[in-house]
Amino acid sequence: MDHFLYRDGALYAEDVSISEIAAAVGTPFYVYSTATLLRHFRLFDDALEGLDHLVCYAMKAASNQAIIKTLGDAGAGMDVVSQGEYLRARAAGIPGNRIVFSGIGKTAEEIRTALTGGIRQFNVESEPEMAVLNAVAIELGVIAPITIRVNPDVDARTHAKIATGKSENKFGIPISRARAVYAHGATLKGLKIIGIDVHIGSQLTDLAPFEQAYTKVAELTEILRGDGHEITRLDLGGGLGIPYAHSNQAPPLPTDYGAVIKRTVGHLGCEIEIEPGRLIAGNAGLLITKVIYVKSGEDREFMILDAAMNDLIRPAMYDAHHDIIPVIEPAPATLPQTYDIVGPVCESGDTFARDRAMPPVVADDLIAFRSAGAYGAVMASEYNSRPLIPEVLVNEDQFAVIRRRPTYQEMINRDTMPAWL
Ligand code: LLP
């Protein structure tokens, strides 16, 4: 459920009309709903009720500081994967002891920043990383709390580019080698092993892979405890999918996911962390764009928008489906028209949807992409020298620009000329 609904024939974000925001900030732009962000965070928080737990929002999904602060104020922790994300979370007021640091390529500099600034734990992904973390911790005279990410070799049954839990993926250490790596980790003076981490992929629409992975984590917990390790915390990653197409069957709910967690690892007495990103932010954001032209091809109509693949890369990159709706609700009996919906960037990959049935549109009509809150703005680029588009946050009847559109001059002025030119 989200808070983007038609009212009297016009699309609203909570109590603010999308057309009004468009008039104020211009198109294209991203708009997020505070109520939806909070609702989704609380669904996870409630789903883990009864367990000692922390929901660490995977801020890679949407990392504007206003979004981070909204969730942080509600009690969320953060899952970060770079120094930039770490510093962004800190800038948004998240205390270090609510930040977990994931990722397979943490550099010594990134580790130093987090160890100095405060961190809840590092999710270590390899032995070489463990060695660097140990060395930096000793150099700083601190002890780094760690979990080790295991790769459970489970098929997440999702898009190949976002599956992470098969043995051929680059993530974690093979679960078969876990005992040896934990034994080695326990000898390192700069580290304190506190738990196990797992994350098997993103946009999972079936709970069975979670169940398999978490069952393996539970077995491993018992084995490692038997080896003398204190396993007090389990980080179970993110990955629960969202409904992208209204026509499709909805994926399982956070409460069903919570039941899997309780069933598989609930008896271990561990503190549980999860790292959802997409389910919190995905359906809390829209991309709003305007029709520039409608153009007739040989056998099809092209709807040319002012948003492009540089603003929302998911369709080009993962063949992702996003529902696309008009901001002004069509009259009930309107007959649909079929369009290829494209952006202005100079490559055919800049296609959002083919043969999509839509109410007929004309130039200047406003169009909304649904489910664009996660992996939308954060994956944008300035390809074709198109400036990054603004982000807007709505809260009931208020809205605020939370990242403004840069001017062309600001974008161009970032280049510097070498002395010889
Ligand atoms: N934790 C770790 C270690 C992750 O790698 C990820 C996502 C998450 C948590 C959050 O997963 P979520 O709950 O959002 O599924 N750009 C792609 C998605 C990439 C996901 C990468 N890792 C897309 O647009 O579909």
* pLDDT (0 to 100) of residue 355: 98
d(CA 339, CA 343): 13
275 CB within 6 A, ligand 1: yes
Cα–ligand 1 centroid distance for 277 (angstroms): 6
d(CA 96, CA 222): 29
What's the average model confidence in pLDDT over 29-52? 98
* CA distance linking residue 96 with residue 106, whole number of Å: 17
Is the distance from CB of 414 to CB of 33 less than 8 angstroms? Answer: no
Give me the chain's average pLDDT, please.
Answer: 97
pLDDT band per the 50, 70, 90 thresholds, residue 102 = very high
For the chain, list the domains and their CATH numbers.
4-31+282-412 (2.40.37.10), 63-276 (3.20.20.10)
Q: How far is CA 294 from the centre of its chain?
A: 33
Q: To the nearest whole percent, how much of the chain has pLDDT over 70?
A: 100
Q: Which residue has the tokens 């876990």?
A: 178
Residue 31 has pLDDT above 90, yes or no: yes
What is the distance between the alpha carbons of residues 127 and 368, in angstroms, rounded to a whole number? Answer: 46
Task: Cite the active site residues.
Answer: 346
Q: What is the pLDDT of residue 167?
A: 84
Q: Is any ligand 1 atom within 6 A of the Cβ of residue 326?
A: no
pLDDT value of residue 284? 98
- To which residue do tokens 């999918």 refer? 241
Average pLDDT (66-76) is 98
Buried b / exposed e over 391-405, threshold 16 CB at 10 Å, is bbbbbeeebeebbeb
Strand 77-80 relative to strand 398-403, pairing: unpaired
pLDDT of residue 188: 98
Ligand 1 closest atom vs CA 374: 24
- 384 vs 26, 405, 415, CA distance in Å? 19, 16, 15
Pick from 85, 166, 202 the residue to mutate for probing ligand 1's pocket: most ligand atoms within 8 Å of its CB: 202
Q: Could you identify the atom of ligand 1 that is nearest to the CA of residue 149?
A: 3
Q: Report the 10 Å Cβ neighbour count for 219.
A: 13
| % of the chain beyond a pLDDT of 90 | 94
Per-residue model confidence as pLDDT tens digits over 152-162: 999 988 888 88
pLDDT digits 0-9 by tens, 301-337: 999 999 999 999 999 999 999 999 999 999 999 999 9
Element (H, E) at 65: helix 65-73
